[in-house]
Amino acid sequence: MFGIPSAKGFDSTLALLRNPYGFISETCRALDTDLFETRILLQETICMTGAATAEAFYREDRLIRAGSMPGRIQKSLLGEGGVQGLDGAAHQHRKKMFMSLMGTERIAALEGTSLHMLDNYAPDWEARNEVVLYDEVREMLTRAACAWAGVPLNEAEVATRTAQLTALFQDAGALGPKHWRARLARHRLEKWAARLIQQVRDGELQPTQESALHIIATWRDLDGELLTPRVAAVELLNVLRPTVAVSVFIVQAAHALHRHPEWRQKLKDDEGQLEPFVQEVRRLYPFFPAVAARVKSDFEWRGHRFPKGYRVLLDLYGTNTDARSWDAPQEFRPERFHDREVTPYEFIPQGGGDHHRNHRCPGEWIAISQMKAFCSFFVNAIDYEVPDQDLDLETGELPPMPKSRFIMRNVRPRQ
Ligand code: HEM
């Protein structure tokens, strides 16, 4: 049996914070390995990258999620008691609730709602000299997500809920006041969402049967009990927050269209190119750096010993850009998806493995369909200019966005 190689130094927390998308893969390359041991937040941690390690990571009989997330991420981004921290039968049962929201018709309904929003917003964009795309899309997706989920949202609330839902994914990983802003946003959103759940249970609100609000408010866990209002609130936010977060992918897609203008014409000529284009954005633009689990009991993998209780981090970004799986991995080449079946372990921007059995993101179809709808709108429905601005991705931020948030000027309908 071989020991797992160790990273230099006593603790790698700072190195990871400084370089969240490169630390694991670069350390692996330096050590000529695909996994190594270190300490993160003073805890023994095994970091891994690449498709083979992803396959090992999604062995849920060996690696569990309970207690794997740092408390500060739970108190801001994820909330407590939600599906992310469940294991085994309890996880699979709760996951059914999310998967039941993802039927083809429901995904199409959300896409239709967003397209309707775009039609409503476009005349206003035309009337203004400039628009900041990220701000517009976040607000549109807040409206669309709430409408689709059966959540009432009056006009006076839109700006506040948009800002709060954004704080959950944009400020959670930050240090200092931004992080506290995310925690405050979570506190307020959970109170709001718990009240909605209670109103449905009391018959004061009657969202449609297929809406997320109805399904979550009436879901029963394996013990036959309704979710507590607080846990149901966490799960409702597990639908609203990430749907608004798709705005990041949409801005990244607009950025890719700008940096690779030849793709505008390709997308116009052939809508079959939309899917490879958005898949390449999801592969190459950084979003979530890694996911975490914990070793359930000692096991061996390829001769390496994984001791019980160790935290394990799987490098998502490094796996999506691993030269062992992808030719010229740092080049933007949507055509690589034309004739390629990807395994559930080499292309993992939203986690890997099986959607039903593992913790893989149930929202992948939403992300893909929303990105396609917005890209199609950008190339077929409007013309716009992209004025000089700082379009470098701000890698000190999680997720990285262009500093300018992508300004569009002189938006007009396509003739
Ligand atoms: C913005 C684009 C999105 C990204 C980058 C993203 C990313 C992720 C990642 C990395 C995971 C963890 C996978 C793992 O632990 O193995 C995850 C899980 C999850 N995502 Fe997403 N996601 C996105 C959109 C969505 C959407 C639109 C929804 C729902 C409407 C959603 C709901 C969830 C839920 C409920 C989980 C927990 C699943 C489980 O623990 O079984 N996500 N997502």
Structure tokens at 295: 């070793």
pLDDT 10s digits, 259-274: 999 999 999 999 999 9
Atom of ligand 1 nearest to the CA of 353: 16
Atom of ligand 1 nearest to the CA of 235: 35
Give the Cβ contact number of residue 264 at 10 Å. 15
CA of 361 to the centre of ligand 1 (A): 4
pLDDT of 319 reads: 98
CA of 242 to the centre of ligand 1 (A): 7
Residue 70 predicted with pLDDT over 80? yes
8 in any annotated domain: no
- Tell whether ligand 1 has an atom less than 6 A from the beta carbon of residue 360: yes
**pLDDT band, residue 349 (cuts 50/70/90):** very high
**Number of domains the chain contains:** 1
Residue 1 predicted with pLDDT over 70? no
pLDDT 10s digits, 375-402: 999 999 999 999 999 999 977 778 999 9
Identify the residue whose C-alpha is closest to ligand 1 atom 34: 361
Q: For a pLDDT cut of 70, what percent of the chain falls above it? A: 100
User: Can you name the residues that pair with 313 across neighbouring β-strands?
Assistant: 47, 292
113 in any annotated domain: yes
- Tell whether ligand 1 has an atom less than 6 A from the beta carbon of residue 58: no
Residue 69 predicted with pLDDT over 90? no
- Tell whether ligand 1 has an atom less than 6 A from the beta carbon of residue 83: yes
- Tell whether ligand 1 has an atom less than 6 A from the beta carbon of residue 238: yes
Pocket test for ligand 1, best of 361, 365, 371, 372 (most atoms within 8 A of CB): 361
61 in any annotated domain: yes
Q: Give me the residue label for tokens 């390690």.
A: 53
CB 57 within 8 A of CB 352: yes
Among 22-31, 64-73, 120-129, the least confident range: 64-73
Pocket test for ligand 1, best of 227, 287, 350 (most atoms within 8 A of CB): 350
Q: Is 206 left (phi over 0), alpha (psi -120 to 50) or beta?
A: beta
7 in any annotated domain: no
Q: Is 303 left (phi over 0), alpha (psi -120 to 50) or beta?
A: left
pLDDT of 176 reads: 84
Identify the residue whose C-alpha is closest to ligand 1 atom 19: 361
DSSP H helices in 270-403: 274-284, 316-320, 364-380
Q: For a pLDDT cut of 90, what percent of the chain falls above it? A: 90
199 in any annotated domain: yes
CA of 411 to the centre of ligand 1 (A): 32
Question: Considering the chain, what is the average pLDDT of its residues?
Answer: 95
Structure tokens at 56: 């090992």
In angstroms, the first-to-last Cα distance of the chain is: 67
**pLDDT band, residue 16 (cuts 50/70/90):** very high
Give the CATH number of the domain where residue 196 resides: 1.10.630.10
Q: Strand pairing of 311-315 and 382-385?
A: unpaired
Backbone angles phi, psi at 111, to 5 degrees: -60, -45
pLDDT of 83 reads: 97
pLDDT of 75 reads: 85
Residue 44 predicted with pLDDT over 60? yes
For residue 145, what is the enclosing H or E element? Answer: helix 133-149
pLDDT of 231 reads: 98
pLDDT of 118 reads: 96
CA of 11 to the centre of ligand 1 (A): 28
308 in any annotated domain: yes
pLDDT 10s digits, 220-254: 999 999 999 999 999 999 999 999 999 999 999 99
Atom of ligand 1 nearest to the CA of 359: 41
CB 293 within 8 A of CB 64: yes
Q: Strand pairing of 304-306 and 299-301?
A: antiparallel
pLDDT 10s digits, 134-188: 999 999 999 999 999 999 999 999 999 999 999 999 988 777 888 889 999 999 9
pLDDT of 172 reads: 80
Atom of ligand 1 nearest to the CA of 245: 1
| Stated length of the chain | 415
4 in any annotated domain: no
Q: Give me the residue label for tokens 């959607």.
A: 355
pLDDT 10s digits, 278-314: 999 999 999 999 999 999 999 999 999 999 999 999 9
Rounded to an integer, the average pLDDT of 50-76 is 92
Residue 2 predicted with pLDDT over 70? no
Domain holding 216, by residue range, is 13-413
pLDDT of 7 reads: 94
348 in any annotated domain: yes
